[in-house]
Amino acid sequence: MGAAIHILLVHQNFPGQFRELAPAWLASGHRVSAVGSAPWSCDPGHRLAGLAYFPYACPAHRWRPQVLAVHLQRLAQQEQLRPDVVIVHSGWGEAIPIKDIWPHTSLVVYPELWGSAQALGDGFDPLQPPLERDALRQIRLQNRRSAYALQCSDAAVAPTPFQRNSFPSPWRERIQVIHEGVDCHQLNPDPAAMVLLPNGLLLDRCDRVITYVSRQFEPLRGLHTFLAALPPLLEQDTRLQVVMAGGAGPGYGPSAPHPHGHLAQQLARLPDHFDHSRLHRVGPLPYAQFRSLLQISSAHVYLTYPYTLSWSVLEAMACGAPVVGNHTGPLDDVITDGENGLLVDFTSPAELTEALQRLLNDVPLRQRLSQAGRRTVLENYSLALSLQRYEQLFSQLLG
């Protein structure tokens, strides 16, 4: 590690992408401050003890960059903040005021993805209608915020090559690929892992378990393809259990036409004879239980539009869960079909069924993909590697 510096993290939903990086920087001796509009307090493990958090409220009718500018200006005048480096998730326009307040501070922006209609399923998922005019307008607005952030930044970071390459070529060349990092010491295979489901069923590594995780259950993360693939699997294998962890909110993509959301809409489409008793929807889990769920998984399904890469797929691989995903960026950056996971066509439930049957019935294949998947995370996405790359970036910026 180089000399200790003062890092300011700006994320409207802090800690967001800095969940693992912030405590690691604190542990390495850096001073870390954060600004966000979400309520937050030190986590139970006190990993962020020592971090100074300066929250601000942004009413719905106010322009976020303007509200943030007033907040930061006040902190700067009171000399509570004088950072060496500011790292901003720029998706909400929060990079806009930074250089006006600290013109000589190094600004690193995290624009995440250049928006497109295809990233929200238009032209990618034939079951989804074309995007409405308002959604297209929001995409253009997001891209303008990203372009401004890149223009005024000293450096920019994207977590995967696919996400970097989504940007137009003038901006793409300025973006470095640095993933947020997976804590492979905390996330690892555990033969003794067990999960107690709400109905009292206790599952462990000896059970046949398919897992599916999504922040919100929605088409953008392949909910409809996943559920459509399950009936033949459950019918043919009476020992199989399926566990879905996540929320039933609106998600990243368009809202559901069904009054009770995407999950209710897709469950209504399952055949009458479907065995719902072996489909367990557990909601968002505490992190320790979430980790145990991945550690007992016989096959983890991760499907996505050409959108951002979820942490859950890398966390599953780190825990030794063999992954079945779909052919598209960003998964093509992570998984090579047959080497460290299996890839199928997003639009084909039958292909997903076949891949899961193959994985469940071939123990040597499961073991090989499990080991190769963890090795992929260790070599390319570990927290240690992310910290090393950020230290190199800080050295470049600060000299």
Q: Evaluate if residue 344 carries a pLDDT over 60.
A: yes
Res 255: pLDDT: 85
Q: Evaluate if residue 43 carries a pLDDT over 60.
A: no
Query: Distance (Å, rounded) from C-alpha 361 to C-alpha 345?
Result: 21
pLDDT band at 33 (very low <50, low <70, confident <90, very high): very high
Q: Are 349 and 225 in contact (CB under 8 A)?
A: yes
Assign 3-class secondary structure to the chain.
Answer: CCCCCEEEEECCCCCHHHCCHHHHHHHCCCEEEEEECCCCCCCCCCCCCCCEEEECCCCCCCCHHHHHHHHHHHHHHCCCCCCCEEEEEHHHCCCCCHHHHCCCCEEEEECCCCCCCHHHCCCCCCCCCCCCHHHHHHHHHHHHHHHHHHHHCCEEEECCHHHHHCCCHHHHCCEEECCCCECCCCCCCCCCCEEECCCCCEEECCCCEEEEEEEECCHHHCHHHHHHHHHHHHHHCCCCEEEEEEECCCCCCCCCCCCCHHHHHHHCCCCCCCCHHHEEECCCCCHHHHHHHHHHCCEEECCCCCCCCCHHHHHHHHCCCCEEEECCCCHHHHCCECCCEEEECCCCHHHHHHHHHHHHHCHHHHHHHHHHHHHHHHHHCEHHHHHHHHHHHHHHHHC
Q: Are 382 and 91 in contact (CB under 8 A)?
A: no
Residue 271 tokens read as 């055949």
Domains and CATH numbers, the chain: 6-181+382-398 (3.40.50.2000), 194-380 (3.40.50.2000)
pLDDT digits (tens, 9 = 90+) for 319-331: 999 999 999 999 9
pLDDT band at 41 (very low <50, low <70, confident <90, very high): low
Q: Evaluate if residue 175 carries a pLDDT over 70.
A: yes
pLDDT band at 254 (very low <50, low <70, confident <90, very high): confident
Amino acid at 12: Q
Query: Distance (Å, rounded) from C-alpha 351 to C-alpha 344?
Result: 6
Interval 177-202 mean pLDDT:
97
Res 155: pLDDT: 98
pLDDT band at 42 (very low <50, low <70, confident <90, very high): low
Res 256: pLDDT: 86
Dihedral, 377, 380, 383, 389 alpha carbons, nearest 10 = 180
Residue 176 tokens read as 């470095």
- The β-bridge partners of 78 are none
Cβ neighbours of residue 139 under 8 Å, at least 6 residues apart?
115, 116, 117, 120, 131
Residue 390 tokens read as 């950020």
Chain centroid to Cα 270, Å, comes to: 28
Query: Distance (Å, rounded) from C-alpha 361 to C-alpha 369?
Result: 13
In angstroms, the Cα distances linking 70 to 6, 19, 66 are: 21, 26, 6
pLDDT digits (tens, 9 = 90+) for 110-130: 999 999 999 999 999 999 999
Q: Are 154 and 110 in contact (CB under 8 A)?
A: no
